[in-house]
Structure 1
Amino acid sequence: MAPIVTVSSGKILGRTDNGISAFLGVPYAAAPTGAELFQAPRRPDPWEGARPATELGGSCPQAAYPPGIAELLGTQTSPGADYLNVNIWTPDTEGSGLPVMVWIHGGAFTRGSNAMPAYDGSAFARDGVVLVSINYRLGAAGFAVLDGAPSNRGLLDQQFALAWVQENIHAFGGDPGNVTIFGESAGAMSIAALLVSPRSAGLFAKAVMQSGSGEIAASETDARLVSAELAKQLGISATAAEFATVDPDDLVAAQERVIADYIADTDPARWGESVVSGGLSSMCLFPTLDGAVLVERPIDAASAGAARGIPLLIGHNADEFRLFIVPNGIAAQLTMGVLPALLGRYRVDPSVLERYAAERPGVSAGDLFAAILTDHAFGVPSRALASAQSATGTPAYVYEFGWGRVDQDLGAFHALEIPFVFDTLDAAPNLVGADPSQAVADDMHAAWVAFARTGDPGWAAYSQDTPQVRTFG
């Protein structure tokens, strides 16, 4: 018999396979259409009868990934206006009080959805964890700063979804007092913001950041410069009322043109210093210091104790930046002569080149650049946030994902760890390659499950004095 669960807006009809029940595309907020696209989320209207929840719901409108990266990551999205939705996987038992994990996807705040096959939560449910994956508004819809609209709408969506989990997860056997949020890339950067947001109190107990940073936040003044560029592309003013009249596809197209302009010309006078330093020369739409949802940069707020008491598991991949320069051929084109200027665009002191070259004799310019940017964008910020959390007396655990693909010169690149965490290697053949290590997936998935249950993934906590790091691979 198909499972039926009652949530705050009505009954939903799921499906059960091999002892695991799944409820897909469940609205946690009303469809953000028309004028509501640029307003705070609100509850969905109640429905009559049992709403089918057996197929994936809609995804936020977005452009495909660039060639090369698209071949590895794919572009798994679903049409539909009801894209503020959640997917839930839970053991098909009458039990209760199970640990809960809520997944926040990545995609540079402009791409991604909870429809990616690698995000299937069946393995977590198999191991006694209720898994929830959420969608949120992306790009201009989620992060453009406009007159007449609240800022950080993407973060507001995430907090609204977490409040929905608090209200409803008991119906799926979950414990609302033992919720762990976890995410990768922009999802991990979102979690850094959620950790320190004054509006997150009581929404979760623990957090996992995969390949994120606590240093990403734009000033409101600088974020408005980006919104002004968007408005210029569209021929309108930077107001919620005028942006709401734009067709979603046209909004995405304008957004992509602005991002391309930004990548080609990262002039702080045009985009603002906080956007240029935070966007890593590829992102220009991301969380803003609005004084309400986000008051300080996450690293600064965490250092002051804003996330005290929330255990943190955080880490990165050994070769993160290779995703951004190997599949598209950029790494092969780089020369030593261009690296100083290129590093300067990323706000990296070119003098580090000498040290990295000395430690890696004979490697190519592309290899040096990837190593430096991996540390700059992911490794150093991860350790900094772990140190800040540890200094408040809160446990922080650090990992490095070191299993790398030997084909295509990719190594342990950005996003590769995801199907290992979810134990979904078979669902991501293009990402993991022909011979992924199931043993590494077993170890990594088990550590995440243990952290969700107890707050301890199975190795010593990190501190400045004892910088313990668990390597997978």
Structure 2
Amino acid sequence: MGEQPRVRTEFRTAGGTVRGVRSADGVAAVLGIPYAAAPFGVNRFCPPRPAADRSAPLDCTAFGPVAPQSAELPGSPVWRPGDEDVLTVNVWVRPPSDAAPLPVLFWIHGGAYTFGSSAQPDFDGTALARAGVVVVSCNYRVGFEGFGHVPGFPDNRGLLDQVAALRWVQENIAAFGGDPGNVTVAGHSAGAGSAVCLMAMDAARGLFHRAIAHSAPHGLFTVEAAAAITSRIAAAAGVAATGPGLLSASPQALVAASDQVAARCEADPVTAVQAFDPVVFQPVIDGEVLPLDPLAALASGISREVDLLVCHTLEEYWFLHEVGAVREVASEAGLAEFAEALALPAELVAGYRALMPDAPVLDRYLAILGDAVFGEYGSRLAEQHARAGGRAHLSRFARRRARPGGGTRPWHTADIPFAFGNLDAAGADFLIGGAPDAPDRALSRRMLRAWADFAARGDPGWPPVTADGTPVRVWAVPDDHLSDDGACAVRALWRDVPLYAEREAAAGLVREPTTTSSPTATLPARRTSK
């Protein structure tokens, strides 16, 4: 199928006129609109500052540059040293034929708070725009620039960037036909973690009205843990772990140093889970930007006015193992070491053995880690939000595909091309196990419709979680079904078990380095999601 003809189209924003393109079916794409000033030079490590107004129209037909990172993702731009105007938003919309404004879906990309961008092909908002939603996506600072602890500067700068982008939506989305009074924040993985952090932040209060969190990780740092990681990165970069010292290191140097520190986490972690999943950047519970763990915040009722839709995949960590992003544990002794490190009770480990009697140790390990980081956390987010008086819906992605030599699991990231309606995007074939078939396309239509309906009215099409019950929509082919978590054997194993991040935050656990940092350490394999 050939390219659809495109024509120029203009929108007037508060900062000046922007020019995008409109396809033959009426969907306009306006890409790379600055929502804040470049966060470098005098703005480096600072909260986002306003973008300059423009007198001349701005051509917005290509994505803006990505934030400093080392990742090279399929079909996506890469960061090049010298790229600075990284704080941009993109808008897709089919302008309404009447005066009624459209609901807005604000997308936050994932990438372990370390890499990724809004330009990834499976995040194209065209299909959702056809469904009657204005889609906005944003780039924000990742890695050390966005989440590294820098003395004298705010933590969680990447989250503050997202808040600035949401303010841009409030000020400008009406010009695109969107309703600033009906904004849904949505994200996957680190983007979903960001979304639930925004629910806990005073700075984001009133800027959105619903939240969609797919595979939100329970990954958070104390200030002490973040500072310990900064010390290691600074040593690897050859600078002092102070504000002036870190400002003297180029973004490129800090990207390389961060990769070196991540490569050493398995042998020398700062927090226990880093020995198994070497993520070195996460939101910091600093008491200011992010006052407390989002799970505790939701349980307090602080965001009960925000509707919440949660989803996770059934086998999250099989993908991260496939791409070499996590440590392999394949022996009973290794599994016991893992359980001890995360303070998981023996009964829980034995319970997984009983539920998976024929599974190899690796599969049991990946199942426990996936539920500890994603599955149980997401389920608790929905339940705590509902018990505190909020409205929450819960779903799980269970779609599988058999193929010669094995099959495709319902693993991390596989659900996103379905929900966006982008099954044919570059890289989607790996995530979903080959070319989509008719049942896949039908599932995609159902998931996309659920997102659009939730963004419009807060109802994705199945009952909400209540104080007394947890109904769950299970996405599958050929048909979905509604499940009850009251009868879920895996959930029963986790009853009364604290999540590892809760334990580490409460205890303030930080491990001192056991080796001297070396700037010549081996870089890690390329991470591709989370």
Normalised by the size of structure 2, how large is the TM-score? 0.83
Aligned to 2:341: 345
Kindly indicate whether residue 41 of structure 2 is the aligned counterpart of residue 38 of structure 1. Answer: no
Aligned to 2:492: none
Cα distance between partner residues in 1 of 2:292 and 2:252: 33
Cα distance between partner residues in 1 of 2:52 and 2:327: 50
Cα distance between partner residues in 1 of 2:272 and 2:40: 31
Contact 1:305 1:389 in 2 (8 A): yes
Aligned to 1:166: 170
Cα distance change, pair 280–291 in 1 and its aligned pair in 2 (3 A): farther
Kindly indicate whether residue 239 of structure 2 is the aligned counterpart of residue 236 of structure 1. Answer: yes
Aligned to 1:256: 259
Contact 1:281 1:345 in 2 (8 A): no
Q: Deviations over 1:34-84 (max 9, x none)?
A: 23221110111122311100011100111126xxxx6xx665446532111
Offset at 1:357? 1.4
Cα distance between partner residues in 2 of 1:38 and 1:219: 19
Cα distance between partner residues in 1 of 2:281 and 2:212: 23
Cα distance between partner residues in 2 of 1:304 and 1:11: 43
Offset at 1:228? 1.1
SS at match of 1:236: coil
Contact 2:19 2:58 in 1 (8 A): yes
SS at match of 2:265: helix
The code of the aligned residue for 1:16 comes to R
Aligned to 1:372: 368
Cα distance change, pair 410–282 in 1 and its aligned pair in 2 (3 A): farther
Aligned to 1:284: 280
Cα distance between partner residues in 1 of 2:452 and 2:253: 42
Cα distance between partner residues in 1 of 2:50 and 2:117: 20
Calculate the aligned-residue CA RMSD, in Å.
2.1
Cα distance change, pair 279–150 in 1 and its aligned pair in 2 (3 A): farther
1:319 alignment partner, one of 287, 312, 315: 315
Kindly indicate whether residue 301 of structure 2 is the aligned counterpart of residue 305 of structure 1. Answer: yes
1:465 alignment partner, one of 468, 478, 481: 468
Cα distance between partner residues in 1 of 2:71 and 2:326: 19
Kindly indicate whether residue 9 of structure 2 is the aligned counterpart of residue 3 of structure 1. Answer: yes
Aligned to 1:294: 290
Q: Deviations over 1:251-304 (max 9, x none)?
A: 1000111112223322xxxx3xxx545996322211112222111111111111
Cα distance between partner residues in 2 of 1:241 and 1:467: 50
Aligned to 1:445: 448
Aligned to 1:221: 224
Cα distance change, pair 467–333 in 1 and its aligned pair in 2 (3 A): closer
Q: How does 1:46-445 map to 2 (within 5 A)?
A: 46-64=53-71, 76-77=77-78, 79=80, 80-93=83-96, 95=98, 96-213=100-217, 215-266=218-269, 271=270, 275-276=271-272, 281-328=277-324, 334-407=330-403, 409-427=407-425, 428-436=428-436, 437-445=440-448
Cα distance between partner residues in 1 of 2:472 and 2:275: 27
Q: Deviations over 1:218-273 (max 9, x none)?
A: 2212211111111111121223333223222211000111112223322xxxx3xx
Cα distance between partner residues in 1 of 2:408 and 2:69: 26
Higher mean C-alpha displacement, 434-443 vs 110-119: 434-443
Specify every segment of 5 or more residues in structure 2 that has no aligned partner in the other structure, as ranges: 1-6, 477-530
Offset at 1:7? 1.3
Give the percent of matched residue pairs that are identical in Structure 1 and Structure 2.
36
Contact 2:277 2:327 in 1 (8 A): no
Cα distance change, pair 263–333 in 1 and its aligned pair in 2 (3 A): closer
SS at match of 2:212: strand
SS at match of 2:208: coil
Contact 1:10 1:47 in 2 (8 A): yes
The code of the aligned residue for 2:277 comes to S
The code of the aligned residue for 1:147 comes to P
Cα distance change, pair 345–318 in 1 and its aligned pair in 2 (3 A): same
Contact 2:304 2:391 in 1 (8 A): no
SS at match of 1:145: coil
Q: Deviations over 1:13-32 (max 9, x none)?
A: 11000210010011101111
SS at match of 1:386: helix
Aligned to 2:20: 14
SS at match of 2:71: coil
Cα distance change, pair 239–365 in 1 and its aligned pair in 2 (3 A): same
Cα distance change, pair 27–94 in 1 and its aligned pair in 2 (3 A): farther
Specify every segment of 5 or more residues in structure 1 that has no aligned partner in the other structure, as ranges: none
Offset at 1:146? 1.1
Cα distance between partner residues in 2 of 1:181 and 1:88: 14
The code of the aligned residue for 1:41 comes to P
Offset at 1:327? 4.0
Cα distance between partner residues in 2 of 1:153 and 1:248: 15
SS at match of 2:376: helix
Q: Deviations over 1:370-395 (max 9, x none)?
A: 21112111111111111111012211
The code of the aligned residue for 2:421 comes to D
SS at match of 1:192: helix
Cα distance between partner residues in 2 of 1:330 and 1:434: 24
Cα distance change, pair 195–278 in 1 and its aligned pair in 2 (3 A): farther
Cα distance between partner residues in 1 of 2:334 and 2:275: 21
Higher mean C-alpha displacement, 43-52 vs 408-417: 408-417
The code of the aligned residue for 1:119 comes to F
Q: Deviations over 1:93-126 (max 9, x none)?
A: 4544100000001000001100100000001110
Contact 1:277 1:346 in 2 (8 A): yes
Aligned to 2:509: none
Contact 2:299 2:384 in 1 (8 A): yes
Q: Which structure dedicates a bigger proportion of its chain to helix? A: 1
